[in-house]
């Protein structure tokens, strides 16, 4: 179905159904993190982006996710778009009024009276902060009182100023006079404390969304940021700012010349700068914060204390110079921990690796942003393959480090070396080739794994990958064959079966053995297509099934019991293709490894029993109408002949070729395919016939006669191509030349 046409390129989307940029996962994670924020302190989140980058769309997706949460988790939401305030003089009053409308209403299950009291206190406090705007409009006072000494005066004085201003302007005099009487006897600090006390009992946060700040004038941006600053330390208030960072910094230069960025960092808590303290104190402060995060056993699941100490010493510790550095880091880290936490409480990242990468994100943002460009270098476990580009790779790593401040480069390099062993080897002038680490890295959710790397930067699991939640759910279904088969079927329906098998492959040792027959039967019943890549990289789905089956059988100490398990599963499984493929792997491995630690099954009766089961399944399937149409027909016939010890497959094939349609089915199945790759990155496929393979089952003279009877004009294009390939092979035979092989075909046709 065609996508709806948008008349305005600037119109934001309002629903995840319209998300074409893959931001739904990030928006959902942001919404979860906001909803899970339970700290009494407020939180200020800023999403920076250039004009037209989709900030408003992302804001709408976040709100959509928040609106879908249960009521007890859903924050109260205030959407304030200062761009929509027509008169800039009304900006202050509109800001406080919009928040006040929510605060004066019951939030959650609280009583109406508590909300009314809170609303009244908010109104009283906001009157003082809005005073400057009202008076300035009359011309009696020029300076905004947000930056005026009035904030330190008793409110009796402030009330008098209100009354005088009202008399001078005759504009809203009655309202100003009433407000003055309300706040006359209290100081600004007292009013602020009352608002804070009124907000503390809230069980849900109040989310204040500020969008389109970068469309305002510089003075208006300054006013909005000052408003956030003036209210950002109230309990349970969470701000979400969407703006162009450069525009905000430029606007703040008038009030913070030379330090606009630092001024902004004091307001936005992720990141946040704090005063300097001793390093030992900073270490204790940091450890206390990390311990709180690690108190969740799911987050601490893969925590390695030795790696953590190595990462911290000479690395992370050098980035923390003030308590503000620690709090800025912990605020950002806590937010991202929430992003990576799934709905079931699992985490998609390794805690130690997240600690390290978060250090780079907060303190060396330019390095962090460029790091994904070096993914192939820092995750390559076959670094010896990059020998020709070794100097270039090292130069790129050094250029990456140069994007950090000079003082931070040694510490940043240390972090990179701890997180990425291939980078460590490159920095030291050697190669990293310990491929045995990959399984441990995948299971441990390590960033050094090519499979896990992108998750640390995408902030969500890509839609074409299996999440940690689903992997754990799959592992939990091992004791129940029906549940396991249903889970596999669900993966297959979403096009994720191959990814699920790949993930399961890494966990193949130590799988639940409550129902070993059920597990093996479920695996052998999978309709797994695909083929291995060059050098078995990547593995095909069938290869994953074999590796899982092999590991599962190996954990059964009794060899006869292994044969019984495999034979029973082959007999009960429903997918012939997978059964034949796995049985062939098992037989080949066992005939090659007849002793020693790699021995799987005993040769003799045990293997013969496996072969009998498979031949029986093939014979039964040969009577079905779909048997001859399958792409694996040649494999089945060869297995039938090799393990059956009879000429039954030849008789079956000869009978098949007696009809034109059956003949084409037979020839189609026996087409050989050669794959080649020259200087071009493209892999080419070439078809040809090896007549010797056909002659194993049907005589060549019979095939020639039957092909000669075919009416070429009635054949499809594919049928004509098959016949032409066959005739080419026959002509080659008639000329006294040997049959093609993949090597001879490629060599002859290349030249």
Does the pLDDT at position 88 exceed 90? no
Does the pLDDT at position 689 exceed 80? yes
Stretch 94-115: mean pLDDT? 87
Stretch 405-428: mean pLDDT? 92
Q: Report how far Cα 645 is from the mean position of its chain's Cα atoms.
A: 52
Which of 20-34, 133-147, 238-252, 607-621 bottoms out in mean pLDDT, i.e. has the lowest? 133-147
Q: Which of 31-45, 391-405, 423-437 has the highest mean pLDDT?
A: 391-405
- What tokens were used for 608? 């013969």
Contact by Cβ (8 Å): 639, 584 = yes
**Does residue 382 sit in helix, strand or coil?**
coil
Residue 278: the pLDDT is 58
Helix (H) or strand (E) holding 684: strand 684-689
Residue 387: the pLDDT is 64
Work out whether the CA dihedral 58, 59, 64, 68 comes out positive or negative: positive
- The tens digit of pLDDT for each residue in 132-189 reads 444 333 333 323 333 333 334 444 444 443 343 334 334 444 444 455 555 556 777 8
Residue 366: which pLDDT band, with cuts at 50, 70 and 90? very high
Residue 534: which pLDDT band, with cuts at 50, 70 and 90? very low
Does the pLDDT at position 130 exceed 70? no
- The tens digit of pLDDT for each residue in 719-746 reads 999 999 999 999 999 999 888 765 555 5
- The tens digit of pLDDT for each residue in 581-609 reads 999 999 999 999 998 888 999 999 999 99
Residue 47: the pLDDT is 87
State the Cα–Cα distance between residues 498 and 520, nearest whole angstrom. Answer: 17
Does the pLDDT at position 398 exceed 80? yes
Q: Which of 436-450, 478-492, 685-699 has the highest mean pLDDT?
A: 478-492
Q: Which of 200-209, 424-433, 608-617 has the highest mean pLDDT?
A: 608-617
What class has domain 15-105+204-269? alpha beta
| Length of the chain as a residue count | 751
- What tokens were used for 700? 């060549």
State the Cα–Cα distance between residues 383 and 291, nearest whole angstrom. Answer: 36
- Report the chain's mean pLDDT, rounded to a whole number: 81
- The tens digit of pLDDT for each residue in 304-316 reads 988 998 999 889 9
Helix (H) or strand (E) holding 520: helix 516-524
Work out whether the CA dihedral 563, 568, 571, 577 comes out positive or negative: negative
Return phi, psi of residue 379, to 5°.
-115, 5
Q: What percent of the chain is predicted at pLDDT more than 70?
A: 81
Residue 281: which pLDDT band, with cuts at 50, 70 and 90? low
Residue 144: the pLDDT is 36
Residue 52: which pLDDT band, with cuts at 50, 70 and 90? low
- The tens digit of pLDDT for each residue in 301-355 reads 999 988 998 999 889 999 988 766 887 898 889 988 988 888 788 888 999 999 9
Stretch 262-273: mean pLDDT? 70
| H helices, E strands: number in the chain | 36, 6
**Does residue 655 sit in helix, strand or coil?**
helix
Does the pLDDT at position 615 exceed 90? yes
Residue 719: the pLDDT is 92
Stretch 47-56: mean pLDDT? 76
Q: What percent of the chain is predicted at pLDDT more than 90?
A: 35
Strand 237-243 relative to strand 206-210, pairing? parallel
pTM comes to: 0.55
Stretch 669-698: mean pLDDT? 77
The ranges of the chain annotated as CATH 3.40.50.300 are 15-105+204-269
Residue 675: the pLDDT is 66
Stretch 359-372: mean pLDDT? 93
Q: Starting at the edge strand that comes first in sequence, how are the strands of the sheet with 206-210 ordered?
A: 43-48, 237-243, 206-210, 76-80
Contact by Cβ (8 Å): 439, 345 = no
Contact by Cβ (8 Å): 23, 12 = no
Does the pLDDT at position 533 exceed 50? no
Does the pLDDT at position 221 exceed 50? yes
Which residues partner with 238 through β-bridges? 43, 207
Core vs surface per residue 175-208: b (16+ CB within 10 A) or e: ebeebbebbbebbbeebbebbbebbeebebbbbb
Residue 4: the pLDDT is 33
Which residue, 190, 260, 178, is CA-closest to 222?
A: 260
Alpha helices in 420-515 (DSSP H): 421-427, 437-443, 455-458, 468-476, 481-493, 497-506
Which residues partner with 574 through β-bridges? none
Which residue, 420, 588, 442, 597, is CA-closest to 506?
A: 442
Does the pLDDT at position 365 exceed 60? yes
State the Cα–Cα distance between residues 108 and 98, nearest whole angstrom. Answer: 18
**DSSP, residue by residue, 231-253:** HTTSTTEEEEEEE-HHHHHHHHT
- What tokens were used for 717? 């294009």
Q: Which of 26-35, 192-201, 456-465, 559-568 has the highest mean pLDDT?
A: 559-568
Angstrom CA distances, 216 to 91, 244, 253, 311, stand at 11, 11, 15, 44
Please identify which residue in the block is written with the tokens 């469309």.
Answer: 215
């Amino acid at each position: 179905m065609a996508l709806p046409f948008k008349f305005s390129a600037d119109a934001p989307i309002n629903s995840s159904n319209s998300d074409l940029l893959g931001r739904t996962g990030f928006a959902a994670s942001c919404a979860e993190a906001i909803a899970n924020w339970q700290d009494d302190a407020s939180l200020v989140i800023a999403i920076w982006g250039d004009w037209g980058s989709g900030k408003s769309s992302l804001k709408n997706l976040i709100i959509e996710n928040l609106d879908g949460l249960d009521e007890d988790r859903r924050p109260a939401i205030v959407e304030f778009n200062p761009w929509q305030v027509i008169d800039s003089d009304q900006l202050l009053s509109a800001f406080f009024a919009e928040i006040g409308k929510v605060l004066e209403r019951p939030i959650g299950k609280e009583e109406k009276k508590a909300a009314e009291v809170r609303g009244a206190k908010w109104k009283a406090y906001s009157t003082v902060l809005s005073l400057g705007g009202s008076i300035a409009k009359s011309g009696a006072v020029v300076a905004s009182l947000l930056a005026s000494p009035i904030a330190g005066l008793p409110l009796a004085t402030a009330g008098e100023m209100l009354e005088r201003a009202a008399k001078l302007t005759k504009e809203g005099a009655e309202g100003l006079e009433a407000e003055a009487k309300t706040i006359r006897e209290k100081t600004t600090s007292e009013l602020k404390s009352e608002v804070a006390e009124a907000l503390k009992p809230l069980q849900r946060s109040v989310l204040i969304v500020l969008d389109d700040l970068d469309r305002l004038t510089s003075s208006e941006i300054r006013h909005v940021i000052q408003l956030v600053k003036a209210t950002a330390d109230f309990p349970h208030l969470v701000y979400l700012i969407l703006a162009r960072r450069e525009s905000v910094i430029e606007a703040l230069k008038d009030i913070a010349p030379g330090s606009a960025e630092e001024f902004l960092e004091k307001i936005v808590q992720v990141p946040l700068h704090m005063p300097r303290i001793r390093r030992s104190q900073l270490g204790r402060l940091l450890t206390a914060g990390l311990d709180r995060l690690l108190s969740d056993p799911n987050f601490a699941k893969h925590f390695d204390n030795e790696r953590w100490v190595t990462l911290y010493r000479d690395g992370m510790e050098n980035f923390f110079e003030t308590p503000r550095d620690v709090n800025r880091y912990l605020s950002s880290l806590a937010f991202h921990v929430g992003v990576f936490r799934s709905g079931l409480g699992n985490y998609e990242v390794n805690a130690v690796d997240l600690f390290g990468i978060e250090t780079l994100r907060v303190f060396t943002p330019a390095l962090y942003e460029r790091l994904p460009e070096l993914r192939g270098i820092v995750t390559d476990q076959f670094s010896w393959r990059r020998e020709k580009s070794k100097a270039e790779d090292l130069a790129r790593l050094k250029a990456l480090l140069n994007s950090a401040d000079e003082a931070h480069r040694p510490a940043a390099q240390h972090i990179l070396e701890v997180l990425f062993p291939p980078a460590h080897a490159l920095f030291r002038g050697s190669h990293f080739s310990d491929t045995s680490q990959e399984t441990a890295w995948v299971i441990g959710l390590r960033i050094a794994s090519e499979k896990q790397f992108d998750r640390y930067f995408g902030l969500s699991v890509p839609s074409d990958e299996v999440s940690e939640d689903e992997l754990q759910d799959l592992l939990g279904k091992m004791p129940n064959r029906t549940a396991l088969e249903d889970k596999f079927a669900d993966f297959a329906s979403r096009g994720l079966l191959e990814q699920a098998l790949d993930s399961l492959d890494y966990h193949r040792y130590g799988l639940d053995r409550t129902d070993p027959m059920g597990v093996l039967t479920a695996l052998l019943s999978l309709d797994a297509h695909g083929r291995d890549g060059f050098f078995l990289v990547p593995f095909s789905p069938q290869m994953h099934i074999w590796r899982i089956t092999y590991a599962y059988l190996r954990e059964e100490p009794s060899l006869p019991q292994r044969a019984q398990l495999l034979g029973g599963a082959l007999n009960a499984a429903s997918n012939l293709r997978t059964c034949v493929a796995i049985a062939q792997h098992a037989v080949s491995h066992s005939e090659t490894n007849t002793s020693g630690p790699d021995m799987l099954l005993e040769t003799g009766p045990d293997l013969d029993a496996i072969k009998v089961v498979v031949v029986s399944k093939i014979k039964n399937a040969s009577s079905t109408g779909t048997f001859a149409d399958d792409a694996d027909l040649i494999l089945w016939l060869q297995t039938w002949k090799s393990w059956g010890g009879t000429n039954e497959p030849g008789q079956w094939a000869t009978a098949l070729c007696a009809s034109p349609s059956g003949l084409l089915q037979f020839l189609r199945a026996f087409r050989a395919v050669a794959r080649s790759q020259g200087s071009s990155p493209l892999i080419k496929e070439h078809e040809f016939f090896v007549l010797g393979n056909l002659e194993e089952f049907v005589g060549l003279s019979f095939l020639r006669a039957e092909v000669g009877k075919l009416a070429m004009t009635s054949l499809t294009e594919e049928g004509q191509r098959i016949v032409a390939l066959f005739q080419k092979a026959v002509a080659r035979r008639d000329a006294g030349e040997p049959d093609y092989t993949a090597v001879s075909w490629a060599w002859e046709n290349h030249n």
